[in-house]
Structure 1
Amino acid sequence: MSRSGPRAVRAAVAVGSAAVLLAACGGGGQQDAASGGDWKPTKPIEYVAPAGTGGGWDTLARTTARVLDESNLVDRPLRVVNKPGAGGAIGWSYVAKHQKDPHKLFVTSPPILLVPLAGASGQTYEDFTPIARLNSEPLAYVVKANSPYKTFGDLAKKLKASPKDVSVAGGSGPGSLDHVGLAGAVQAAGADASKVKYVPFDGGGEALTSLLGGHADAAVAGASEVQPLVRSGDLRVLAVSSKERSPILPETPSLTETGVDYAFDIWRGVMAPKDLSESQIAYYEKAYAEMVKQDSWKKASEKLGWTDAFMGSKEFGTFLDEQNKEYSEVLTSVGLKK
C-alpha cells in the first residue's frame, strides 16, 4: 500500500508543526512515548516468520499482514520476511538484536518456549515483548483407519504395557511441539512418557505420510492437518488435545472426555523486541484486537481450522509464564530439559 502523495506531505507538515510546538513547551516525541502517549510507526514493519514459506508461521504472518493492511488497522505495511532454521531460533536471534525497535514483529507459538527449554536457543521468551495471542488449535492423535486401536485408551494401554512395540510419528523434533503434546497426554494416561518411541519428522505432513505408509503405528499432528485425511477415510482420530471438542473434528472426543486430565493447545501469537514503550505496545495490541473482529479474519480462521483465543499483551505474558512452567515439567519427565 502506497503511503506517498499529497496526504503524506500534509501529514509530515502536521508532524513537524507539532514537534515545534512541543519543543517550545519543553516536550518531545520520545518523552511523549515514554509517558504512554500516542505512537504510530514511521516506516514499514518487518514481520518475521521464523520458518520457511508455506508452514504454519508463514501462513499466520501472511494472513494477519493481509487482514491488518486491507482493514487499514496499521499506518504502515507489514512486510513478511522468512528467517528459517533451528526450530525458530534463527528468527528469534535476529529479532533479539533489534531491542527497542518498534518496527520489528514476529509470529510465534509453543516452540518459543520449548526450544529454549531443550537448550537449543540462545534466547527465551523473556527476551521479547508479548503483543497478543491470536488463536489456538488442538493436536490430534491419529491412527490408520484399519488400526486395532479404537480409542486413545487403547493406545495408552499398549504404551503402558509395551511402549517399545509402538512407534508414534510427529512433525517436530524431540522436545518440541508434537513430542510434548504426546508425552503430556501419555503421562497423564498413566504410561511412562520417557519410554515412548517418538519418531520425529520435518512437519506434520511427513509424519502423516509415514503413518499411512505403515512406518508408524500412530501419529500426532495439528487438527487442521489431519482433517482432510479423516474426511477421506484414511485416518481415524482417537482424541484431540483440547479440553472441549474441536469445531473442525466435532465427532472426535477430547482427552478430557476419554478420562485423561491433560490439555495442549497449539496457540499462536505475535511478539516484538524487548523494551518497547507502553504506547508502542498499545498500538499493536489495539490493531490485533480489531483484526480478530474482521469478517475477513474470521473467514480465514474458519478455513484454516483456527479457534479464536485472543489475549492482550499483559494477559499473554502471564499465559507464557504459566505455559513455560508446564512445559518445563513435561520436558523434565522425558529427560529432555537442559
Structure 2
Amino acid sequence: MHRSTRTSAIVRIGLAGAAALALAACSSNGGAPGASGDGEAAAIQAVNVIAPADPGGGWDQTARAVSAALTEDGLVGQAPVENIGGAGGTVGLASLATETDANTLMVMGSVMVGAVETNASDSRIEDMTPIAKLTEEPLVVVVPADSEFQSLQDLVDAVVEQGQGVTITGGSAGGIDHILAGLLLTNAGVDAAEVPSTLNYVPNSGGGEALTMLLGGTVQAGISGVGEFSESVLSGDLRALAVSSAEPAAALPDVPTIQDEGIDLAVTNWRGVIAPGGISDEERQALIDLVTELHDSEAWTAQVEEKGWTDAFVAGDEFDAFLTDEIATTQETLRTIGLIE
C-alpha cells in the first residue's frame, strides 16, 4: 500500500487550510521538507489532521482528540483539523489522494473500508500510506426512550415482519453500522439476497444527524459507536438495546451484549490514521514515530479513557497487514449480506 521513492510494491491494506510550519531541517540546510541532511526524518513541527466526516461523529471526535493530544503534549506546534465529509469518508479519501503535504494524517476505519466497496470509489485505501490503528469501540443499537421495542429481538422481529416499515439509521452505506444491521437480519434467517430490499437503512453523516433523526421520530432505531450515543442513553433521551462487543461496554456497563440477547454475533468498530500515498520512506517513518509518541502520551491516554474507547494500537507494517485482512473480510461480509456482488 505504501509507495516509497524506491518504488516498493503495493503491500497491504480502515488540510488544506492552515499551512504547516517550516521544518527546522529545511531552514538550517535547505533539505526537502520531512528529511534532514543525513537522510533521516526530521522532527515534524506541524501536522494537518483530516476528519473525513461532518462534525459530531466518531471520526471527528477522533481527529480532534488526536489534534488536542499532539499539541497539549508539545509533540507538534500545530495540528489543525479539517472536516471533509461525504460518502462514508470517500470524499475525504479522494482529497487525500491529491494531498501534497506529507505531514497529513487522515482518520479512517472500518466504516471507510466498507464505503470504498459499496461506493465503488476510484480512490482506494490501498493507494494511501498506512500509519497506525488507534482504537476500537463497540457499536450500540439504540431506540428513542419511548420506543415500543423493549429488546433487540423485538426490533429484529419487527424488521423481518415489516421490512421497509421499520427505519434504522447508521453511518455510511456499507460501513460497519450497515454491516451490523445486515448481519442481524441474516442471523434471523433473512436470505442475503433479500437483505437490501428488507432493510430500510438510512445513512447519516455523523452522530449529531443521527440523534436528530431519532429524537424527531423519523427513524425507529439507530446504530453507531458507543461514544456517539452514550451521553444520550445516560441522559434518558435514548434507550440502548444492546452493544456489539463480546463483553459489556465500559461506557454503558448495564447494557447487554448482542450475544447476551441470544444472537451469536460480535463486531467492533476500529479507527486509525493514514497518510497520502507516494510519500518517502523517511516521511512515512517520521509519521509512524509521531503517532507512536502520541499513543504513549498522557494526553492521548486521557482522551481514550474519557471517550470510552479501547486502545488497539498497531503501527507501520503490522497495521498494513491488518488492513489487508480487513479489506478482504469486509468484501466477503458485504457479499454475504447482499450489499455488493
Normalised by the size of structure 1, how large is the TM-score? Answer: 0.80
2:252 maps to what in 1? 249
| Distance change (3 Å), C-alpha of 1:261 and 1:321 | farther
1:179 maps to what in 2? 178
Q: CA deviation at 1:50?
A: 2.2
| Distance change (3 Å), C-alpha of 1:268 and 1:173 | closer
Q: CA deviation at 1:309?
A: 1.3
1:80 maps to what in 2? 81
Deviations 1:288-327 (A, max 9, x none): 2222232222222233232211111222222222222232
Q: Is the 8 A contact 2:108 2:271 kept in 1?
A: yes
Structure 1 gap segments, 5+ residues each: 20-28
Cα RMSD for the two superposed structures: 3.2
SS in structure 2 of the partner of residue 292 of structure 1: helix
Q: CA deviation at 1:196?
A: 2.0
Are 2:199 and 1:200 equivalent residues in the alignment?
no
Q: Is the 8 A contact 1:41 1:102 kept in 2?
A: no
1:143 maps to what in 2? 143
Are 2:266 and 1:263 equivalent residues in the alignment?
yes
| Distance change (3 Å), C-alpha of 1:308 and 1:165 | same
Q: CA deviation at 1:206?
A: 3.1
Q: Is the 8 A contact 2:99 2:276 kept in 1?
A: yes
Aligned pairs for 1:57-68 (under 5 A) are: 57-68=59-70
Q: CA deviation at 1:274?
A: 1.9
1:296 maps to what in 2? 299
Deviations 1:56-98 (A, max 9, x none): 3333223212212332334x63333333333322321222124
2:73 maps to what in 1? 71
Q: CA deviation at 1:259?
A: 3.4
Q: CA deviation at 1:42?
A: 6.4
| Distance change (3 Å), C-alpha of 1:123 and 1:3 | closer
Aligned pairs for 1:1-338 (under 5 A) are: 12-13=27-28, 15=29, 33=39, 38-40=40-42, 44-74=46-76, 77-98=78-99, 102-160=102-160, 162-164=161-163, 166-192=165-191, 193-194=195-196, 195-337=198-340
Q: How many residues align?
A: 316
Cα distance in 2, alignment partners of residues 12 and 165 from structure 1: 62
- Give the letter for the 2:89 counterpart: G
Q: Is the 8 A contact 2:44 2:286 kept in 1?
A: no
- Give the letter for the 2:163 counterpart: K
Q: Is the 8 A contact 1:181 1:264 kept in 2?
A: yes
Q: CA deviation at 1:41?
A: 5.1
Deviations 1:239-283 (A, max 9, x none): 111222110011112223333333332211110122434443332
Q: Which has the higher contact order (CA 8 A, sep 6+)?
A: 2
Between stretches 243-252 and 112-121, larger displacement belongs to 112-121
Identity of aligned residues (%): 36
Deviations 1:137-157 (A, max 9, x none): 221112234444333233333
